[in-house]
Chain A
Amino acid sequence: MLLFALLAIPLAAGALSFAARNRRAMEAINLAAFAVLFLLAADLAWQVLHTRSVQLWNGFLAADSLSALVVLLTAFVALVCSIYAVGYFREDERNHVFEANVRGAATISSLRKYYSLTPLFVFAMLLVALANNLGVMWVAIEATTLASVFLISFYGRATSIEAAWKYAMIGGVGLSMALFGTILTYYSAHNVLETETLAGLNWSVLVVNAQQFDKTTMKLAFILILLGYGTKAGIAPMHTWKPDAYSEAPVPVAAMLAAAVLNCALYGLIRFYVLTTRCLGPEFASQLLIIFGLLSVGVAVPFVLVQKSFRRLLAYSSIDHGGIMILGLAFGGALGALGMLLHLTFHSITKPLLFFCAGNVEQHLKTDLFRRAKGGLIHSMPVSGPIFLMATLAVTGIPPFSMFQSEFTILRAGFGGPLLWPPILLIVLLVAIFIGFLVHIARLVLGADPGLPPSDSCPWKKYSLIGLASVVVILGFWLPGPLFELIRNAARVVGGER
């Protein structure tokens, strides 16, 4: 029932929001739904922690530790984004953004679009994590794309339509590859399982028999899955939609794309990774993942070093972190998987903070270009400014913030492996990315007072920022025991244990 509730609540919230007549009602519906959702997700995590697995409908929906972790993070991101969104869209309304649309749509219909599509979006993401069947999982991932296209083109500017088009097209191609990979997986299992029922694609069934799968097919399947879900996760060279989509979407949507969709795509990848390593041994997958991981981190470097827009900067950071997680997976072993999932967790919590800061700054300056910002934001934004700087440091892996811990764990796993150059190269690239970030954000936040009017007065925006920032700081010193236990169990799932 819990699993059903997890899926039903966002669907219901989407429908209710669609029916709602005014802004307050929509805000209230979303907030309430996501708050309840978060509690349910926490409950799920708690149950999974004790029973290892929760199932519904004869195993059609199933949650193991990995799913529970992804569900929990998705629910968390959805909750904080919905809180922030209230302040964000109110500010947009005050700035008459909606009236200035190319389409000239009225405020309420724009808001309705956001408030009803977002729960659908979240529903799709939860389904990704909860579906046991890999085919259904694919359908759900495709659904996340479809639900978010119009969220990306939300503002109706020429550039946002461009971004949405690229997102839809590249995503479409990517997911076709993923479907191809899924078909091949089904095929390679087909002969072994001799079944044509739904269970033939159930992960829980596949993982048990993975060793007998056809090896060549599994290789091709993994390549296609890697490219497919890699596209969705924004792994280079399939990352190209990311900067466009992240910079054009409304900030809460961008935050969700960066923090939650990434998780879902990686989640899909992990499921197949486990099958592949079981079938082929770890070398094949880890070879590929090392190349793609390093490529992702490396691709981000030039764009981070030379960048004109801070929204796009964040997108490249997201590509970089996708690469790091992929590398964690690639370095393998219990440590690599654990590092990867820790990174996933910390990233999901830190990244929204960074996006919210960028959102506040963008709404304050009315631009996301560095060149138009005169620096010295700390004077007009005494809360967002310093937190922006702090979040930058957090996201670039500076201790005491938690991402250093996960990156360190991943690197440790890397140095434990047969090849030394990938982790060393990773360190070099990470340093370069840090440099780019620091230079850009320090220039933006610090400096003489340019004389802008004070901002940071909206309590929704301010307190969602402060709250999340506190979580980020606390995580640097204290990771709650049960959460760590959950992550560790999830890492066992990645490592192939049940």
Chain B
Amino acid sequence: MYFFEDPQFGNRMITLMAAFVLVLQIAMVGQRWLVTNIRVFAAQSFLLAGIANTIAYFNHAPHLYIAAFLTFSLKAVVLPVVLERLVKRVDIGQEIAPIVNVPLSLLISGGLTTVGYVVAASFHHPEDTASPASLGRNTLAVAVSLFLIGFFMMISRRKAIMQVLALLSLENGLFLAAISLTYGMPLIVELGIFFDLLVAVMVLGILVYRIQETFDSMDVTKLSRLRG
């Protein structure tokens, strides 16, 4: 199995998975059903964990395995489950009318991907493309695009829970950037980030629940009493 030793193969794998991650992100933009969106997010996180594992393997960065495991368990399993239960509980199926309609959203996502590539292009240093350290660096464009599209989703969606999901997918972009650029952050930082993420989702979950209870709706456009 010589190709398991070949960094070129790893690079291809990573690029491929990153491309899928981006596709899934755009799929989220086009998707109106909440539950489907959550599952797409889970799939995306799963792929991310895969990328992390691959990088850990090819670059001999053992602490990335931990990050990959945390990503998998937290983002691909725990959070989707929590969110799906929340959706069931508040009994809301789909986003009826996003603020920006779907075709336009897709178009904008395309534009944002371009921006991501432009930004990432400035990082390319021709002299070190061949070195192993550059492995996975071309995924940076994907990371930036993920980040921007996630951000855009927060703006275009009305449902509170979709905003939470968008925020999480945005963080996926960050995670991708971290593992692809620097093979992850120092472990303790990584742990802290995951802990924060967990708490954040709990806090936001409670808030979503309270919003539903108080406003009888998950539509955050109704949260506009505080002005001026």
Residues of A near any B CB (own CB < 8 A): 102, 133, 135-136, 138-139, 142-143, 146, 149-150, 153, 156, 158-159, 161-166, 168-169, 172-173, 176, 179-180, 182-184, 186-187, 190-191, 196-198, 200-201, 216-217, 220, 243-244, 247-248, 303, 306-309, 312
Contact = CB atoms under 8 A, between A and B. Distances in A.
A176 B223 contact: no
A165 to B, nearest CB: 6
B142 to A, nearest CB: 14
Nearest 8 Cβ contacts at the A-B interface: A135-B189, A139-B192, A162-B223, A187-B181, A244-B226, A198-B186, A142-B196, A183-B178
Nearest to B225: A159
B174 interface: yes
A320 B60 CA distance: 49
Given A146-B203, A158-B214, A176-B170, A169 B163 contact: yes
A165 B220 contact: yes
* A interface, over-half SS: helix
Interface string B29-67: 000000000000000000000000000000001010000
Interface residues of B, number: 45
B174 A180 contact: yes
Interface stretch (B14-22, B68-76, B108-116, B204-212): B204-212
Nearest to B185: A135
Nearest to A308: B228
29 contacts: A135-B192, A139-B196, A143-B199, A150-B206, A158-B225, A159-B226, A161-B207, A161-B223, A162-B223, A162-B226, A164-B207, A165-B160, A165-B211, A166-B226, A168-B200, A168-B204, A172-B204, A176-B147, A176-B167, A179-B193, A183-B182, A184-B177, A184-B181, A186-B181, A187-B181, A190-B181, A217-B123, A220-B122, A243-B226
B226 A172 contact: no
B189 to A, nearest CB: 3
A133 B163 CA distance: 30
Given A102-B214, A139-B193, A168-B204, A173 B154 contact: yes
B116 to A, nearest CB: 12
A165 B171 CA distance: 18
B207 A165 contact: yes
Interface in B156-188: 160, 163, 167, 170-171, 174, 177-178, 181-183, 185-188
Nearest to B133: A191
Contact of B223 (A166, A179, A200): A166
Contacts of A243: 226, 228
A190 B188 CA distance: 17
B226 A169 contact: no
B4 interface: no
Contact of A146 (B188, B199, B224): B199
B117 interface: no
Contacts of B183: 196
B119 interface: yes
B122 A153 contact: no
A183 B167 contact: no
A473 to B, nearest CB: 32
Contacts of B210: 153, 156, 161
Nearest to B215: A158
Given A135-B185, A165-B211, 10 more contacts: A139-B196, A150-B206, A153-B210, A161-B214, A168-B200, A168-B203, A179-B171, A220-B119, A247-B226, A309-B228
Nearest to B155: A173
A244 B220 CA distance: 15
Nearest to A141: B196
Contacts of B133: 191
Contact of B196 (A146, A168, A201, A247): A146
B149 to A, nearest CB: 13
A198 B196 CA distance: 18
Nearest to B202: A146
Contacts of B207: 149, 153, 161, 164-165, 168
Contact of A162 (B170, B187, B225): B225
Contacts of B187: 198
A173 B181 contact: no
B42 to A, nearest CB: 20
B207 to A, nearest CB: 6
A307 B228 contact: yes
Contacts of B182: 183, 186-187, 190, 196
Contacts of A159: 225-226
- Residue in B189, B193, B215, B223 whose Cβ sees the most chain A Cβ within 10 Å: B189
A183 B200 contact: no
B123 A216 contact: yes
Contacts of B224: 162
Nearest to B163: A169
Interface in B81-136: 119, 122-123, 133
A163 B214 CA distance: 13
Contacts of B163: 169
A66 B204 CA distance: 33
B123 A183 contact: no
A326 B117 CA distance: 31
A113 B223 CA distance: 24
A172 B170 CA distance: 10
A248 B188 contact: no
Contacts of B174: 176, 179-180, 183
Nearest to B171: A176
Most chain A beta-carbon neighbours within 10 Å: one of B122, B160, B228? B228
Given A173-B151, A173-B170, A183 B185 contact: yes
Nearest to A201: B186
Nearest to B192: A139
A220 B177 CA distance: 13
Contacts of A161: 207, 210-211, 214, 223
Contacts of A196: 61, 63, 182-183, 186
A94 to B, nearest CB: 26
Interface string B212-224: 0011000010011
